[in-house]
Each structure stands twice: as C-alpha cells, then as structure tokens.
Amino acid sequence: MSIEQLAETARAMVAPGKGIIAIDESTNTIAKRFAGVGIENTEENRRAYRELLLTTPNLSQYISGAILFDETLRQGTRDGTRFADLMTANGIIPGIKVDKGPQPLAGFPGEVVTEGLDGLRARLEEYYKLGARFAKWRAVINIGEDIPTGTAIEANSHALARYAALCQEQGLVPMVEPEVIMDGAHDIDTCYEVTEVVLRSLFGSLYEFNVMLEGTILKASMVIHGTESAEKASREEVAAATLRCLKSTVPATLPGIVFLSGGQSDEDATAHLDAMNKAGPHPWPLSFSYGRAMQQAALKLWAQDMQGNYGKAQETVFARARDNGLAALGQWEG
C-alpha cells in the first residue's frame, strides 16, 4: 500500500464539513446502551439498529466514515446488502475497531493497557478484504490519585504505535485514540497536563515505530474538567485549552484530528468543536468521531417505538450529523 493511498483515505475522512460516526460498540458496551433504554441485546436487534443508523437518508452529506464492530462488518441490511458495500456505494468509508479492549495493567492499580496485538496482522488483512479502509484502537488513560503513571502511558503508546504500523502495512489508515477519561474530580488543568504528556508520548512512539503521520488520524479527547469536578470550565475555556494542548504536541503533517464525545452532552460536544473551529484556521482539520453524542437521542426514540419512530430516529441522526458537520466548519449557530 502506498503512502499516497493512505493519505488520500485520511484526507477524505476529514473532508471539510464532514466527520465520523462511531458505532463500534462491542457486544458488552452496546448491551449497556440497550439496557439503558430497555432494548434486548440480541444479534438481530444490534443488526437492525446499525441498519437504522447506516441507512439514514443523506447521511454522507456530513459523514465521511463510520467505525464498525467486527460483528457489524460481517452483517448487512434486511434485504441482504452487506453494510460495507452499502457504505462504500454511499460514499461513507468503512472503518473497524480492532483493539480487544482495556485490561488491568499488572502491578499498577487503577490503570489499564489495551490488548489485541497478537494475531492483528491476519485480522487486518481480513478486514481489508471485507472493505474496511481505516481502523481504530482506543487506549484508556484514567486520572486519579497518583495516576496516570509514566509506565501506563508508555505501555499504551507502545501498543498504539505497533498497531498503527501494522495498519499501514495492511493498507488501513490507523485512527489512534488515546482517551483521557473524564471520570473523576480533577480540574481542567490536570486534564491538560495529562493530555499533554500522553500526546507527547504517543507521537514519540509513532516516530520510533516508523508510522507515517501523513496516513494517520488522531482521535483525541478534549481538555476538560472531570465529571465530578467542583469547578466547571466554560465552553470557551475547554476549546482554548484543547487547542493549546494540541498545537504544542501534534505535528502539522498529521492530516486531521477528530474528537470523541466521552460522555459530554450532545450540545456541549457540538459547541466545543464549533468554538475550536471558529478560532481557526489550525494546522489540521478538526472534526468529530462521536459515538454517544451522535446516537443517544436516536436510540431513545427507536426504543420507544421501533417501527413507529424509525423515521424520526433517522431524522435525529441526520440532525446530529448536520450540527456536528457545521461545527467542523465553525458554522454552527447553536
């Protein structure tokens, strides 16, 4: 795979006014989302829900790609069209979550390291054949008393770099995601310090492992106060701190940065992205790769009446895509 092809895919993922919808919840994670609205976690319900999302009319106006879970990449619509084929036909790039989730890091209470490197080359080869053109790996960095440690940060950066190099070898754009978790009572300054160290470590590892940044996308968490923090930063403060942190750590050769929503409200996620883009131009396009902030309203509607609210749920997905697409241009009006 040439770097030009990887770079072209990466640029298409962050095309102006477009972002990614993350629907790559593992079977355990979607179980929690479904339980929250009273939907049974069966294979057919998961398939039907992903069909609702991916067949939203005109989705590709604001959505460049979607991240799927392994099961979804092998599924299709009721009438038998594979989701990956449907997406490609509609101009939405299929992506795939390839990590196997965080596991406790031995000897480091409260910290985790993401697993999934063993056998990854063969899995990537298969995912490419199934139509995937980018792949996501999520590292989890928790903030708490005396954590994160440098050891946990480095272990996660090392894994991210090894996965990213394998992706590029197999023709997939790596979407590297070091998520600094919002849970906790920490303030925005602590989140800033941690995020800065994490990103420095990540780009150091990517360099050591010969990962080509031109064919890589960063999926970042915003610099924001913890969910239990007594002091809440304003939207302007979150946008300014996130920009400052990214500008001091992320090389300008990267084709783009997308954000996760991480438990922010739908409106906060959109407003923060919009505020950052209103302060542009920046060295890279800043867009979204939201999971919950793209889906939670639609899932609620669908759960109330699967048939009756089908169209309404899709309209909600489209509205969230439009708002976030406008925010990616700094043109959201609130």
Which positions are catalytic?
A: 177, 219
Where in 201-240 is the site for ligand 13P (CB under 6 A)?
Answer: none
CB contact at 8 A, 92 and 137: no
Q: Does residue number 158 form part of the binding site for ligand 13P (CB under 6 A)?
A: no
Q: Does residue number 291 form part of the binding site for ligand 13P (CB under 6 A)?
A: yes
As given in the structure block, the two tokens for residue 144 are: 């708490």
Calpha distance 190→129 (Å, rounded):
43
Interacting span for ligand 13P (CB under 6 A) from 76-84, 107-115, 182-190, 255-263: 255-263
Name the residue with the smallest CB distance to ligand 13P.
291
107: Cβ contacts below 8 Å, ≥ 6 apart: none
Q: Compute how many other C-beta atoms are within 10 angstroms of the C-beta atom of residue 157.
A: 25
State the minimum distance, in angstroms, from the CB of residue 210 to ligand 13P. 25
Instruction: Give 41: exposed, middle or buried? Use CB within 10 Å, 0-12, 13-18, 19+.
Output: middle
Calpha distance 146→154 (Å, rounded):
16
- How many residues make contact with ligand 13P (CB under 6 A)? 11
Which of residues 33, 50, 123, 138 is near ligand 13P by CB under 6 A?
A: 138
Where in 7-36 is the site for ligand 13P (CB under 6 A)?
Answer: 22, 24
Calpha distance 294→270 (Å, rounded):
10
Q: Cβ closer to ligand 13P: 50 or 292?
A: 292
Q: Compute how many other C-beta atoms are within 10 angstroms of the C-beta atom of residue 88.
A: 14
Q: Does residue number 163 form part of the binding site for ligand 13P (CB under 6 A)?
A: no
Q: Cβ closer to ligand 13P: 218 or 283?
A: 218
State the minimum distance, in angstroms, from the CB of residue 308 to ligand 13P. 26
User: Which residues contact ligand 13P by CB under 6 A?
Assistant: 22, 24, 138, 177, 260-262, 290-293
